[in-house]
Amino acid sequence: MNSDASVKWQLFMDSARKRVSTGSTLALRGTLTRLTGLVLEASGIRVPVGSQCLVTMKAQTPVLAEVVGFSNDRAFLMPAGDVHGLSSGASVEPAAAYVAVPRLGERRQTERISGYATLRLPLGDGLLGRVVDAQGAPMDRRGPIEDVTAVPLDRQPINAMDRAPVRETLDTGVRAINALLTIGRGQRIGLFAGSGVGKSVLLGMMARYTKADVIVVGLIGERGREVKEFIEDILGDDGRARSVVVAAPGDAPPLLRMQGAAYATAIAESFRDKGKHVLLLMDSLTRYAMAQREIALAIGEPPATKGYPPSCFAKLPQLVERSGNGLHGVGSITAFYTVLSEGDDQQDPIADAARAILDGHIVLSRALAESGHFPAIDIEQSASRVMHNVVPQQHFEMARRFRAINSRYEKGRDLVQIGAYVGGSDPALDEAIQLHDDMARFLQQDMLEASTLDASVCAMAKALDHEEAVA
């Protein structure tokens, strides 16, 4: 009996130590004391940043909110839903910690992180062909999503020394990009454009024609009308079959817009970890930064550059660095992030910060778009920082010559148009004038037309009047 009592006592003590180590099991509850703009302020509750809470009032559906900051004994929460109807005195308590649903034949396991609920969203092959919101709920009215597992959204970044360098080309199906801005598998590219110059159409072309196993599209902060149009008109049935679309429209709370970008990246990471080559299209990185700005300013962070607080510029690399090649070259994420340039200003603070942390930038010109030149890629202002590592020397030199001739024509365009230039006075400009029409036709492409990498290089050689193309 003494031996049995000792064993039971030891089991009890082990269980008590485990409960203490995982956090208090006492129910915590606070009170909503203030609602200013976008932020809820609660007193009497101490929960870590990033944990999920429920704000409850009688006869109303609880509002899910995430802790985004604190000051002394006050917690600042950002709601993930509509706060209409909340008033002072509402109950604020931590959401229940996640409990994994056991499968047949498996032991029941409970995951608790410091005793508080952390955000977990569905990941898996069941997301292919589906359209979901920032919380993983289906938006396409095609029933529940199966073959997925709830996984924490926060993931540890890959050690930079464990990543494989960018060494393989990626065929995007867009002639100008393939030939002059060749993309490497695992590269991160910024698509810089103002509003209405064709960035969504260009994204759709890459989604249709890029050679990738899985395509993940994050529509962050876009107009609700554009979500369905992008899926049905631009992405198409073929592109949608191998795609996952995460939509967080502009009318969604800022927390959900940020969460949508992180969720799209997490989905891409999950497929990359399975050894697949993923194309991540995020529209747009600027709206992600704007959502962070709304949250940061609402909780009192001071603005630094044109209204953007310092946390915005810290969040951008944290999101972007999650893309790229996987561990030891297994799987990859090639990412295109659209960056909105306010007033077509390329020195916009978010555009300038994104240009510094990305592996290249493609600039769309409003002047080209207004003249009917599509895709409106400004070759002079665009660059791929890994092109010299992924293409043969002959291809690289041909692209360099194409850029030089195009630049020479642009510098002498005004003289030619007003008739002030006399032929023969500048041999370089004479050559540019002679080749301009062929080069302009090469740079234009219909959205329903695909051009392979080899075909793009051959077309560039023909536009430059080369006798031989790159093998």
Per-residue pLDDT tens for 248-263? 998 899 999 999 999 9
3-state SS, residue 86? coil
Band of pLDDT at residue 345, cut at 50, 70 and 90: low
User: 236-245, 267-276, 412-421: which range is least confident on average?
Assistant: 236-245
194 pLDDT higher than 60: yes
- Name the CATH architecture for the domain at 395-464: Up-down Bundle (1.20)
User: Would you place residue 76 in the very low, low, confident or very high pLDDT band (cuts 50, 70, 90)?
Assistant: very high
Task: Please state at what angle helix 310-320 crosses helix 349-357, rounded to 10 degrees.
Answer: 30
AA letter at 63: V
Residue 409's pLDDT band (cuts 50, 70, 90) = very high
Question: Pick from 298, 288, 348, 296: which is nearest to 322 by CA?
Answer: 288
Helices (DSSP H) in 323-451: which residue ranges? Answer: 349-357, 366-370, 387-390, 393-417, 427-443
Q: Which DSSP helix (H) or strand (E) runs through 68?
A: strand 63-71
Tokens 């509850």 appear where?
29
Eight-class DSSP state of 53 = E
pLDDT at residue 365 is higher than 50: yes
pLDDT at 178: 97
3-class DSSP string for 7-42: HHHHHHHHHHHHHHHCCCCCCCCEEEEEEECCEEEE
Provide mean pLDDT across the span 196-207: 86
pLDDT score of 85 more than 90: no
DSSP track, 258-272: HHHHHHHHHHHHHHH
Please say if the pLDDT value at position 334 is more than 50.
Answer: yes
Query: What residues are paired with 123 via a beta bridge?
Result: 149
Contact 129, 240 (CB under 8 A): yes
pLDDT surpasses 80 at 469: no
Which pLDDT score is estimated for 148? 92
CATH of domain 1-118: 2.40.10.170
Q: What is the DSSP letter of 147?
A: S
d(CA 22, CA 163): 34
pLDDT band at residue 344 under the 50/70/90 scheme: low
Tens of pLDDT, residue by residue over 203-239, are: 888 888 998 999 999 999 988 777 888 888 777 777 7
Q: Which pLDDT score is estimated for 2?
A: 63
Q: What is the pLDDT of residues 87-139, one digit of tens each?
A: 889 999 988 765 444 443 333 333 444 456 778 899 999 999 999 999 999 99
Under DSSP, is residue 395 helix (H, G, I), strand (E, B) or coil? helix
At residue 99, the pLDDT reads: 45
CB count in 10 Å sphere of residue 235: 21
**What is the overall mean pLDDT for the chain?**
86
pLDDT of residue 347: 72
- pLDDT class of 467 with cuts at 50, 70, 90: very low
DSSP assignment letter at 127? G
| Residue 358 tokens, joined | 């990305």
- Residues β-bridged to residue 337: 190, 282
Transcribe 167-230 into DSSP letters.
-SEE--S-HHHHHHSPEETT-EEEEEE-TTSSHHHHHHHHHHHS--SEEEEEEES--HHHHHHI
Count of CB atoms within 10 A of residue 217's CB? Answer: 27
Q: How confident is the model at residue 190 (pLDDT cuts 50, 70, 90)?
A: very high
Share of the chain above pLDDT 70, in %: 90
Contact between 102 and 96 under an 8 Å Cβ cutoff? The reply is: no
Report pLDDT digits (tens) over 164-189.
Answer: 899 999 999 999 999 999 999 999 99
Can you give the pLDDT at residue 423? Answer: 86
Topology (CATH) of 127-391: Rossmann fold (3.40.50)
Is the pLDDT confidence value at 398 over 90? yes
Three-state secondary structure call for residue 321: coil
Cβ proximity of 326 and 158 under 8 Å: yes
Per-residue pLDDT, averaged over 281-285, amounts to: 91
Mean pLDDT over 193-211 rounds to 86
Residue 22 confidence (pLDDT):
55
**pLDDT score at 108:** 34
Domain boundaries, the chain: 1-118, 127-391, 395-464
Q: Has residue 289 got a pLDDT over 80?
A: yes
Least confident of 28-37, 153-162, 390-399, 446-455: 153-162
